[in-house]
Amino acid sequence: MANGATTDPDIAACDSVKDLDARIAGCTRLLARKNLPAKSQAILYLQRAQGYVRLRQFDRALQDYDASLKRNPNFAIAHAERAVVYNQIGDPDHALQSADKAIRLDPNYVLGHAARGNALGQKGQFDQAIAALNKSIGLDPKQQWLYISRSTVWNANGETDRAITDLDTG
């Protein structure tokens, strides 16, 4: 510890990406503290939601994303990540609402456009889905998972050759 600084064990736990149970417990303990600013609470709920997502506890994750957004309605990351969870549970309508809100808040947010594309793909709106995924790829062409997402939409639309090309790119 440099200069005698100490690290709060709850903060360290809440930041953990390896021990998800510790992450959730640390964030929970921090949220129980009094007088935290709303934006700090929003971040803690987001971090706990991310732990729940990795544990595939989607109902809990959605509750925490909602709690995060109650404290900071303009938190584009929480809107986009919530959209991803809605996509994972097969609720493209709510995913689209969350993704669109993330994009309104941050027009260049890659995850917002990708979540929008995945939701539109689930709804069978393939041309719009491809356009949204093209936008996300245009914003960050080095992200392989974006090509994989777009390949899924190409494949669902019967465009196997394009799907394979994206898989080769990704």
Residue 23 structure tokens: 């992450």
Q: What span, in angstroms and rounded, lies between the C-alpha atoms of 63 and 27?
A: 14
Q: In terms of domains, do 123 and 69 share one?
A: no
Q: Is residue 114 part of a domain?
A: yes
Distance of alpha carbon 50 from alpha carbon 90, whole angstroms: 18
Do 103 and 44 share a domain, yes or no? no
What pLDDT shows up at residue 55? 96
Count of structural domains, the chain: 2
CATH number reported for the structural domain that contains residue 164 in this entry: 1.25.40.10
For residue 114, what are the contacts with CB-CB under 8 A and spacing of at least 6? 132, 133, 136, 145, 146, 149
Residues of the domain holding 31: 9-73
Q: How much of the chain exceeds pLDDT 90, in percent?
A: 86
CATH number of the domain enclosing 42:
1.25.40
Question: Is 3's pLDDT higher than 70?
Answer: no
Residue pLDDT, tens place only, 74-103:
999 999 999 999 999 999 999 999 999 999
Domain assignment of residue 3, yes or no: no
The Cα–Cα gap between 148 and 65 comes to 25
> In terms of domains, do 69 and 137 share one?
no
Tell me, yes or no, whether 65 and 126 share the same domain. Answer: no
pTM of the model: 0.90
* Residue 6 burial class via C-beta count within 10 angstroms: exposed 0-12, middle 13-18, buried 19 and up: exposed
